Amino acid sequence: MICLPVKALLILGVLSGTWAQVDDFEWSTWFNVDHPGGRGDYEQLDAIRFYYRDRVCEKPRAIEARTTDWRPAHTTGERVHSDPTLGFWCSNAEQPAGRNCSNYAALGLRHGARGGLGRTGTSVLPSADRRLCKCAPGDAIHTPTTGSSSVLAPQWKAGCAKDPHVKCEMGKVNAECDACMCEDHLLLGSVRSAGGLPAPGASLYRPGSTPKLLTVADHNGHFRIPGICPDGNTTLTVRLPKHAPLTATVPRSTERTSVLHNPEPKARREGQTASFCCKVGGTPQPDSYQWYHNGNLLDASMMNSDGSLVLKNLRMDQAGEYYCRASNKAGAIKSKPAVLTVTGRDAPSCNPKPESHLIRLPHDCYQNASNSFYYDVGKCPVATCAGHQDNGIRCKDSTAYCCGVAKMEERHISCQGYQLPTMVVSRCGCQKCVDTKAIVRGRALAADNGEPMRFGHIFLNGVRVSRTGYKGTFSIQVPQDIDRLVLTFVDHMQKFVNTTKVLPFNKKGGAVYHEIRLLRKKAPVTLSSSETNTLQLGEVVGQDPIAELQIPPNSFYWENGEVFTGNVKASVTFLDPRDISTVTAAQSDLNYVGEEGDVLPLRTYGMFSVDFRDEESDEPLNAGEVKVLLDSAQVKMPEHLSTMKLWSLNPDTGLWEEEGDFHAQKKRRGKREERTFLVGNMEIRERRLFNLDVPENRRCYVKVRAFRSDRFMPSEQVEGVVITLINMEPTPGFSSNPRSWGRFDSVVTGPNGACLPAFCDDIKADAYSAFVMANLGGEELEAVPSAPKFNPNAIGVPQPYLSKLNYKRTDHEDPRVKKTAFSMNVAKPGPNVAEEGNGPIYPFDALKECEEAPFSAGHFRFYRVEGDRYDYNTVPFNEDDPMSWTEDYLSWWPKPMEYRACYIKVKINGPHEINVRSRNMGGTHPRTVGQLYGIRDTRSIRDMDQSSVSAVCLEFKCSGMLYDQDRVDRTLVKVIPQGSCKRDSVHPMLQEYLVNHLPLAVNNDTNEFTMLAPLDPLGHNYGIYTVTDQDPRTAKEIALGRCFDGTSDGASRVMKSNEGVALTFTCADRQVTRQSVFQALQNSPGQSLVSTVQTGRGGRRQRGGPGAVRSSRRRSTRNPFFRLTTRISG
């Protein structure tokens, strides 16, 4: 829990007469110079003076000690000693057997000028900034013990917390058992007289039969009291000489409810028991839990005392979605729904019949039966199933069960001159889920020029979990119990604004790449704290500011509440939505929690970050009574004027919280111009991001799918692609050239694509527009073209709905623009229009219908620009879905969550680029020897400087343990150039390694190279590149980057043909007599599986017909795993 400071202002009335004086005393700060290791904990004055000479009094009146978890020394049950002339100490030798001293901190008390100490044993707290021999203020609760003593403290009474006279709504009962204590809370305040002047020396007491002094106000009337609970019930009595006592109630401090843990999906059989739990945090803790089934409120009798839901003797009609709603006095929130699947007592938990799944075959395996290069190997849909669970009632099942492959059978496919083995799924069943890990990785860069944030800190729930590298890269494993990943990026160099991002990730496992764009901090300006200061919010040249901040005189104060006087360095960074390039730097996902607990969207008019610091010490400052004046002329949608609010971002939840409303006020600008401003008030206490937003209720979902190629096969959909939709704010009366962006959303594609929330309108089709883009591991996917040919079948949306949506790829009007995004009107489908009821846009209440829409329903499409690579695995595996891994000796990746990628670099001397194949078989393992693991085909890349040289980085299956982890297999790898080639040389170090690590493969054929793959990760000196990672795509990307660069620790986008080469072949020019894999695939039509020969595809690089020689000047030398970033210009 974070420390929540509360500022209180106590105004005291004047009373005639006399008032008994309270003795004058002052406490020092806490000191902890020793730790309980070795002989014990010795907080001795000589040692404290050595480190803090100016902060320790010469003759303290008393010594007080507490453990670091706030327990007074006399309640610990330990033998301790204290002496004002020596200090405090605890010896391990004096403690009971098996017990050592606790870790203590100590402070001292000095007798002041007004008489004696007062009653011994009084509970006293140090005052804020009140100096004891120039000591710093204290910061914890303590109870004094005076004199020199050797005490065997009594055991703490465990029953105190159950005392019926002390019941705590917040916190816990203190050690004295007479009040509640909140250890993480600090009360800050000030006391002033009726005339408004500071009241130094005012004493604050906890009332009771015997009032206890808590602290004394300092010379400015400020005070601080740790441990006071802001529950709305705690009272303080303030006394000042010649003034009437005043009793004040500590105001309630509230923290918005947030879901810490969502309920888990469950699968059960009829008659079994299921339980659902959700954990919700907030201040105070939620006092009400409700559970809903398919949107219907359930009876409270089905809940346990801890708010969990227990369903016994399940029936079939109890299947469906369950979610909880928790509330406290600060508001309510709903959890994400969890699905309960109920099957019959004797019915199979999974459908035993596999679904259809087509894999692509090599170029020489054309199938006459299907007239295609595809073969159906089947697959089992990943779904939760009812496995063998024990009878325990748990929030999360001890073992997760999923539908998966129960049986496979081997088939042999006829190819040109050989038989290709493949494993086909014949039956599905319920089994333990594949253990996977979700990872987010990426780079943190400046939004303006791409400068990396070097060695920045990354926080999750206020705890640092990682840091960025020299190039801004980061990689974080997502905790299993997290459904919403909120990360805050903090630059310790203070170049960039602290940035909070909600990053979507693949819950089924694998890595998702994100590029974090950071706003650069504005250069600070100097303000005088004694003057009225105005700061403008607006970044677009030639346009008026959207808003301005107005700070009255004497509004700045220190974090302890003391008013600041002097010069202030003010840095105000504004994210202006009128500049379309700023959208990538926007923070969070622009959502808030409504009154009923639903997560609802916001539409922004600008975000700003404020940093105030003392010009001399550079210490942070707060500011109170700040006015925000929003120019109403900048709000182009009149209905937004009445709903505009000021919000701040909670960096832990990533949700926006309301700070206040706006009211209209006229203000004169210049001599003649009078404008209407929306005025709101705020106090800048924390380093939070603020937002000018309006809630928006016109919402829809947009269906998008991503594919491996522009053939748009259902089986070639790609998971783990980050789809981003940017909502544009319309200009009234015009559908084009929107003036600014309003919000953005990102969703990761699953097996059935992604549904992105967007603002929409059912009256005017062009009222809302949007840009949509897709990114996979830093690679930008292409959208379907809209010109020169407009093909609704390729776009995925039928007419006439497509024309209404005004679909345009970004290069529609200028072919020089990148092709990686499209724009559209977000027109809400009409309820009575048949052609609009089947996608790609769905009403907001039809999310489930959108997510489960069949492939034939309307959707927008992105596709990968097909590289010159082909992968074939005997045991099919989808690298985008780690849960598709199957236990089999012939699996290419033998161990899930430990993916090892291996590449060999081959140099080709010849006039043309050559397709090179690696054929990978079992080499030394008795279960796999001679059997095929898979095939890899890759075309070489022309050297930029040498026209007769090309090179290729070719993947092969790494040697190592197979899936049973019993014994290793040295993979038998054949490197076969697809042409008239002769092996020239093998790198001497690689040859020496293979000779020294027997057995040695026979290499009689000079047209190819055969080896038993090395077990060791050899590196660039051998021409072998090996990388292990928890995600297969990441492992391959890193290994490819090193192979292109020819180094073991670098990365390159350009192939360096002469660096780090393992093999060299010389290939002669010859007439091509048959199709290569890429010619065959390109010559198959995009909309069918037939193999009708075409002469190329519009808008793509041409390979030519079967008899054509490939051009060497049109190939890119760039690493296909590296892509540039899309920028949209408005």
CA atoms of 810 and 816, how far apart (whole Å): 10
**Three-state secondary structure call for residue 596:** coil
- Give the closest residue to 826 by CA, choosing from 790, 795, 801: 801
What does each C-alpha distance from 818 to 721, 822, 1054 come to in angstroms?
19, 10, 20
- Give the closest residue to 1018 by CA, choosing from 976, 964, 956, 961: 956
Q: What is the pLDDT of residue 861?
A: 95
Distance of CA 4 to the CA centre of its chain: 25
Q: Tell me: pLDDT of 176 over 90.
A: no
Note the pLDDT tens digit of each residue in 810-830: 988 888 888 899 999 998 888
Q: Tell me: pLDDT of 66 over 70.
A: yes
Q: What is the pLDDT of residue 106?
A: 78
Sign of the torsion formed by the C-alpha atoms of 361, 363, 365 and 370? positive
CA 537, 542, 545 angle in degrees (round to 5)? 20
CA atoms of 717 and 753, how far apart (whole Å): 8
- Percent of the chain residues past pLDDT 70, beyond the cut: 82
- Give the closest residue to 186 by CA, choosing from 213, 214, 158: 214
- For the domain bounded by 525-695, which CATH number is listed? 2.60.220
Strand partners, 31: 106
Q: Please provide residue 996's backbone torsions phi and psi, each rounded to the nearest 5 degrees.
A: -85, -10
Q: What is the pLDDT of residue 686?
A: 66
| Cβ–Cβ < 8 Å for 183, 2 | no
Q: What is the pLDDT of residue 28?
A: 64
Note the pLDDT tens digit of each residue in 525-558: 999 988 999 998 888 887 888 888 888 888 888 8
Q: What is the pLDDT of residue 167?
A: 77
Any alpha helices (H) in 567-695, and if so which ranges? none
Q: What is the pLDDT of residue 109?
A: 58
**Three-state secondary structure call for residue 936:** strand
CA atoms of 622 and 685, how far apart (whole Å): 5
Q: What is the pLDDT of residue 667?
A: 66
Buried-exposed string 21-51: b where 16+ CB fall within 10 A, e elsewhere: ebebbbbbbbbebbebeeebbbbbbeebbee
Q: What is the pLDDT of residue 352?
A: 93
Q: How is 15-55 classified by DSSP, letter by letter?
A: --S--PPPPPEEE---B----SSTTEEEEEHHHHHHH-GGG
**Three-state secondary structure call for residue 381:** coil
CA atoms of 787 and 339, how far apart (whole Å): 43
Calculate mean pLDDT across residues 680-705: 79
Give the DSSP H or E segment for 8: strand 6-12
- Paired tokens of 800: 């006439």
Superfamily of the domain at 255-343: Immunoglobulins (2.60.40.10)
Q: What is the pLDDT of residue 54?
A: 64
Q: How is 1007-1028 classified by DSSP, letter by letter?
A: TSEEEE--SS--BTTTTEEEEE
Note the pLDDT tens digit of each residue in 633-661: 777 666 677 778 888 888 888 888 888 88
Cβ count near 290 (within 10 Å): 18
Q: What is the pLDDT of residue 139?
A: 30
Q: Tell me: pLDDT of 11 over 50.
A: no
Give the CA diameter of the chain.
116
Note the pLDDT tens digit of each residue in 1050-1090: 888 789 999 999 999 999 865 444 444 444 444 443 333 33
Any alpha helices (H) in 934-1073, and if so which ranges? 988-996, 1032-1045
Note the pLDDT tens digit of each residue in 601-633: 888 888 888 889 999 888 889 888 888 888 877
Give the DSSP H or E segment for 917: strand 915-921
Q: Tell me: pLDDT of 1126 over 70.
A: no
- Domain spans of the chain? 6-249, 255-343, 358-432, 450-518, 525-695, 699-863, 869-1067
Q: Tell me: pLDDT of 1124 over 50.
A: no
Beta strands in 136-278 (DSSP E): 149-152, 172-173, 180-181, 186-193, 203-206, 212-216, 222-226, 235-239, 246-249, 255-261, 266-269, 274-276
- Percent of the chain residues past pLDDT 90, beyond the cut: 31
Half-sphere exposure of 919 (CA within 13 A, CB side): 14
| Residue matched to tokens 């505009």 | 644
Quick one: 171 exposed, middle or buried, by C-beta within 10 A (0-12, 13-18, 19+)? buried
Note the pLDDT tens digit of each residue in 387-410: 887 777 888 888 889 999 999 999
| Least confident piece of the model among 306-315, 328-337, 850-859, 864-873 | 864-873
Q: Please provide residue 93's backbone torsions phi and psi, each rounded to the nearest 5 degrees.
A: -65, -25
CA atoms of 1049 and 435, how far apart (whole Å): 30
CA atoms of 626 and 695, how far apart (whole Å): 23
| Least confident piece of the model among 162-166, 580-584, 854-858 | 162-166
Q: Please provide residue 474's backbone torsions phi and psi, each rounded to the nearest 5 degrees.
A: -150, 160
| Cβ–Cβ < 8 Å for 1105, 1093 | yes
